[in-house]
Amino acid sequence: MANKEPLIITDKHQMRQWSRSNRAKCKTIGLVPTMGYLHEGHLSLIQESQKHTQLTVVSIYVNPGQFSPNEDLSTYPSDFLGDIQKLKIIGGVDVVFHPQNLYDYGQNDGFRNSEREDGKMVSCVKNSGMGHETWVRVERLEKGLCGKSRPVFFRGVATIVAKLFNIVEPDVAVFGKKDYQQWRIIQRMVRDLDFGIKVIGADLVRDDDGLAKSSRNVRLSAQEREKALSINKSLFDAKFAAEKGQVDCKELRDSVVQAILEAGGKVDYAEIVDQESLEALKEIKSPAVFCVAAWFGNVRLIDNMEINV
């Protein structure tokens, strides 16, 4: 129902109580985890959740555990009141779970910008004393792609999602396929740790010009945004070429890298991997996904294209 005012819950104990009360009434619950600054991509995840469950919870929480101190935690865009208005317009969101700090256990502030492990900066979460020190790792799937340049990222993602699952206790959780590696990691975590949750991957959503929807897009200048279109254009070209019989991954990869570099971007990675195992492929003989991360200006963008030949 449009213009429905969602209940805003900030306390994790109240969130768990709400879920258990509704589950006792045989209501099914869907969870859409977000870091806020919602766009059409997020809203499509909510609509997907509503297809599968009677109640929908949207979490809005910028997770410090997935940022290293040299990353953009402090500048990550936020507009909580704007997010609530968008959720009212789309309707059907029953609860917004908006905790202040899920790493605060009443002993200290729970996180700081100087965590160190073996002398190296690790993440923005404190790991000593009475602070948080338990982490979830999906060891093989987290190593490639984004895991190469962001070594603490998926540790933080898997841990916060596990915490949200334990707090909200959903029947279904919806993740966007734009973050393809993240979606597969959460699927594997749920399988391996026997969470009784169905994880759904929702299709990537693009702007009219083809750029993948992202909260970080707002930080692109008009010129940078135009140049960043080289990512999706070259991915579409690679998909078309593969469907026409070009299955050599090196040649496809080189074409995408060249297009991004010529547009003035800096490539973090461009890899064609198996859709399930995320292992790099030499030739496309089974369902594959072409994953790309590239910098334009100070903004790191990710995109992907599933290839089924």
Q: Which residues contact 34 (CB under 8 A, 6 or more apart)?
A: 42, 45, 58, 59, 60, 61
Told to judge if 13 belongs to the known catalytic residues of this protein, a careful annotator would answer no
3-state helix, strand, coil in the chain (%, to 5): 40, 20, 40
Neighbours of 13 (CB within 10 A): 9
Catalytic residue among 39, 42, 52, 98: 42
Q: Give the tokens for residue 294.
A: 């590239």
Neighbours of 3 (CB within 10 A): 9
Characterize 86-117 residue by residue with b for buried, 16 or more Cβ atoms within 10 angstroms of its Cβ, and e for exposed. Answer: bbeebeebbbbbbbeebbeeeeeebbebebee
Neighbours of 131 (CB within 10 A): 18
Q: Give the tokens for residue 274.
A: 């198996």
Q: Give the tokens for residue 40.
A: 């059409």
Largest CA distance in the chain: 60
CA triplet 89, 94, 95: central angle to 5 degrees? 105
Least Cα distance to 84 among 16, 12, 3 occurs for: 3
Q: Which residues contact 139 (CB under 8 A, 6 or more apart)?
A: none
Which residues are annotated as catalytic? 42
